[in-house]
Amino acid sequence: MLYSYITFPNDVLEKGIKSPVLLEEHQLSHYAQRAGTFKKEGIVEYLETVFKGRSRAISCLTEPVPDLKSRKIQGFKKWRDCFCFSEDILNNKEIVESVWVFDGDRIEQVQRLDFSKLAWESVRDDDDQFFKRIRHYMLVLNKGFLPPELIKKAS
């Protein structure tokens, strides 16, 4: 299974998981500092400089975020619902165009996922490096969203 965390309220079970290109401008504010703008057009343009298709990509993990005492991890989970979907979608070329791994400073396209244990103990409360410390994947979606019929709410 693969896991995606979406802030709430959300309509994932009705409309699927949307990539940035399909979100409303106000839903993209967490990219504003990196993109240098709050405007959707500029944010999408910035995302495409990360790698081709990044604006149509969704993030996922190979395991759910654990219940640890870290304030950073607790805060992340507090404002998000966890959804899961089968990694079999990676073989569906109508849905997934490509897969990219983010692992520290390494960003590269991959053919398969690494399901080894994630380094949750490396997350620190005193910096903003949460996802830079945890290996995660970006699925570039042909239509920019993962259909709701493929998604379940994780318990």
Tokens describing residue 47? 């995302």
Q: How far apart are CA 59 and CA 53, in angstroms?
A: 13
pLDDT tens profile 8-63:
899 999 999 999 999 999 999 989 999 999 999 999 999 999 999 999 999 999 99
Instruction: Give the contacts of 146 (CB within 8 A, at least 6 positions apart).
Output: 4, 16, 17, 58, 85, 89, 95, 139
pLDDT band for position 140 (cuts 50, 70, 90)? very high
Mean of pLDDT over the chain: 94
pLDDT tens profile 61-111:
999 999 988 898 999 999 999 999 999 999 999 999 999 999 988 999 999
pLDDT tens profile 51-69:
999 999 999 999 999 998 8
